[in-house]
Amino acid sequence: MRRALWLLLLGLSACDRAATAEPAPEPAPAAVPAPTATPEPQRPPDEAKATDDAEPPPPEGVPGGGPDPRTLDGSASTSIGSPTEGSLRGGVPLPLSGPGFVFNPRKDPERRHGTWEVVRALMDAAAAVDEANPGNTLVVGDLSLERGGDINGHASHRAGRDVDVMFYLLAEDGSAFDAKAIPIEPDGTGVDYKDLTTADDDVSVRIDVPRTWAFVHALVADERNALGRIFVVEHVRTMLLEEGKRAGASAQVLERAGHLMCQPKFPHDDHMHIRFFCAPDDIEAGCLDTAPVFPWHRKRLKAAGVSAKLAGPRSTPRPTLTSTKDAAQKKREEVGAFDPAVDAFLERRKAWAKKPKTGRKYCR
């Protein structure tokens, strides 16, 4: 119920919010006390840890079933067509959990299929973050359906090359917070409003910037990954790039991350939407990319003896996704009145939902 609330309020626009998504936004008082303590690894990743010596070792297997992606290669899957009108052959299911990540347990597991390249990239990046700095878990949202195609709540996510990932989050005391789609404000805080009509259940969080950057860094720095876009709200983009500089990332990674990350019209303040380019063998099978094709990616393709084919204008009607404003209005009528904190948040949100504040152009 509440989920549906937020869903309607925040989402269903452009890129990507799944019909079964969660979250709740809210206004955070400007000065939510931000704990400065380094987060302790208080919540181990979701895999069970054998603590009882008497227990037999857990059976081998892939959580959720399906092949172990580490035993496959790029020939397992083929992305056909464009992210907005395409489909997927041989979709590889992201395991429901693994080192450093979990597929959002609130989601339909059918929505966790991608190309092998995407699944491998996610698993490797999450594992790298976990290994370097254990104690928080990446929550992965929708990828595509097994065969791709139309997927409720998204305009894209059709060809196995789009994935939504939540920001790593921290609770007020600095401990890991079970991540969900909670909008992050320009000061890095957010509130899980839950029931939108009352403030009693509100929980303050903040984005775990070092880990979220570490994940982006792991993706961008891995030359095997053909990243096309990282859709994310402008102020989180800025935080991540600043963290990258602070953490000593190379000029090349910072430059590429700066080009890859951008805010589309739908703000993406509660998750990142990551899109991958077509793999070279998929291009030959009909995979279509969208501009811009970055020079470093063009070079890679050239080395593989192919060049990108770009999708033309949409030939099928764009799915009708409810606008945030209309959805908020409708919900307000339905529930009577929101907790004033929610109204205040929605008011503040206008500042970044409409336009990237730095004057950078929206990306597509």
> Which residue number is nearest to Zn ion in terms of Cβ?
16
Instruction: Give min distance, CB of 268 to Zn ion, in A.
Output: 8
Angle at 164 between CA 150 and CA 213, to 5 degrees: 160
- Whose Cβ is closer to Zn ion: residue 8's or residue 15's? 15
Give dist(CA 166, CA 341) in Å, integer: 23
How many chain residues are in contact with Zn ion, going by CB under 5 A?
Answer: 4
Cβ atoms of 21 and 141 within 8 Å: the answer is yes
Count CB neighbours of 110 within 10 A.
Answer: 14
Residues 265, 321: contact at Cβ < 8 Å?
no
- Of the pair 158, 348, the CB lying nearest Zn ion is at 158
Binders of Zn ion among residues 298 to 317 (CB under 5 A) are none
Q: With contact defined as beta carbons under 8 Å apart, do 145 and 151 qualify?
A: yes
Nearer Cβ to Zn ion (15/260): 15
Q: Looking at beta carbons only, is 16 or 339 nearer to Zn ion? A: 16
Residue 49 Cβ vs Zn ion, minimum distance, rounded to whole Å: 32
- Determine, following the binding rule CB under 5 A, whether residue 273 of this chain makes contact with Zn ion: yes
Nearer to Zn ion, 13 or 189 (CB): 13
Tell me the three state secondary structure of residue 102: strand
Q: How far is the CB of 307 from Zn ion (least distance, A)?
A: 27
Asked if 111 is part of the footprint of Zn ion (rule: CB under 5 A), the reply reads: no
Residue 18 binds to Zn ion (criterion: CB under 5 A): no
**Separation CA 183–CA 22 (nearest Å):** 11
| Site stretch for Zn ion (CB under 5 A), options 143-151, 181-189, 266-274, 320-328 | 266-274
In the complex, minimum distance from the CB of residue 123 to Zn ion, in angstroms, rounded to a whole number = 18
Given 13, 16, 77, 289, the residue binding Zn ion (CB under 5 A): 16
Within 10 A of 247 (CB to CB), how many other CB atoms are there? 12
**Residue 15 interacts with Zn ion (CB under 5 A): yes or no:** yes
Q: Are 281 and 77 in contact (CB under 8 A)?
A: no
Between 273 and 331, CB nearer to Zn ion: 273
CB of 16 to Zn ion, least distance (A): 3
Please provide residue 259's backbone torsions phi and psi, each rounded to the nearest 5 degrees. -75, -40
Taking the least distance from each CB to Zn ion, the nearer of 215 and 338 is 215
Beta-sheet pairing, 227-231 with 261-262: parallel
Task: Dig out the tokens for 282 from the structure.
Answer: 């998929």
The CA distance from 19 to 107, in Å, is 9
User: Stretches 19-27, 156-164, 197-205, 345-353: which one binds Zn ion (CB under 5 A)?
Assistant: 156-164
Phi and psi for 205 in degrees, rounded to 5? -135, 175
Q: Of residues 161-190, which lie at the interface with Zn ion (CB under 5 A)?
A: 164
- Binding residues (CB under 5 A) for Zn ion: these are 15-16, 164, 273
